[in-house]
Amino acid sequence: MSVFNGTWKIDIARSKKWDSSTAAYVPDEVGEEIITLRIVDGIQDYEVLYGSDPVIRMGYTSRYDDPEWVPYAVREIVSPVGRPPREAVAEFRRRIGANEGSNARNFEVGKAYGLVRTVYVDERTHYRIARAEDGSPQNVMLRRMAEDGRSYLATVLDVDGVIHRVRAFVRAA
């Protein structure tokens, strides 16, 4: 059984993102992020509840080291009652830095957020490589588990090799 199996919650105090306008790291304003990972027989099933206003449910299923790119799909968007989802998503994209260059992302239910492949290194280390549907690169993420198995860091490099964001997660269940 993988040490990553379970539910993980963002530790926002230890998370940061690159702000290209100030050329400095700033607090990550994602809000909530809850990730559920299930890894069995080399297949990673990943689902994330991303943000708090709105909450965007996304996920993918990928076999480690498989050359096939799989869709990282937007499954659902839940915005507060009375707030149009399009408005909530636009504000969320601004907060997380998903409006600029290779970091720009769309959130549309039923559509791929990107295509991904996963690479197994060892029990505590794996990578997720992402590209857009047109084949252009998006990012590379290193997920590294702490020795005690109670937290991990997700470090995302953009296409220029800049560490775009670092998010810390703690085991929730």
Distance between CA atoms of residues 13 and 56, nearest Å: 21
For the four alpha carbons of 102, 117, 28 and 111, in that order, the dihedral sign comes to positive
156, 117, 116: which is closest to 132 by C-alpha?
Answer: 116
Mean pLDDT across 130-139: 94
Name 137's bridge partners: 131
34, 153, 17: which is closest to 98 by C-alpha?
Answer: 17
Identify whether 58 is part of a domain.
yes
pTM beyond 0.85, yes or no: yes
**What torsion do the CA atoms of 55, 60, 61, 63 make, to the nearest 10 degrees?**
-130
Identify whether 19 is part of a domain.
yes
Identify whether 93 is part of a domain.
yes
Stated as kind and residue range, the H or E segment containing 129 is: strand 125-131
> Is the pLDDT assigned to residue 53 strictly greater than 90?
no
- Residue 125: the pLDDT is 98
Distance between CA atoms of residues 65 and 96, nearest Å: 29
For the four alpha carbons of 71, 72, 78 and 82, in that order, the dihedral sign comes to negative
> Is the pLDDT assigned to residue 146 strictly greater than 80?
yes
CATH code for the domain of 13: 2.40.128.20
Find the domain containing 11 and state its range: 6-171
84, 96, 77: which is closest to 26 by C-alpha?
Answer: 96
pLDDT tens digits, 105-124:
788 889 998 999 999 999 99
148, 157, 153, 149: which is closest to 168 by C-alpha?
Answer: 153
- Residue 36: the pLDDT is 98
pLDDT tens digits, 55-79:
989 999 999 999 999 999 999 988 8
Mean pLDDT across 135-153: 97
Identify whether 1 is part of a domain.
no
Identify whether 104 is part of a domain.
yes
DSSP summary character for residue 103 = G
**Domain count of the fold of the chain:** 1
Instruction: Specify the pairing of strand 125-131 against strand 55-63.
Output: unpaired
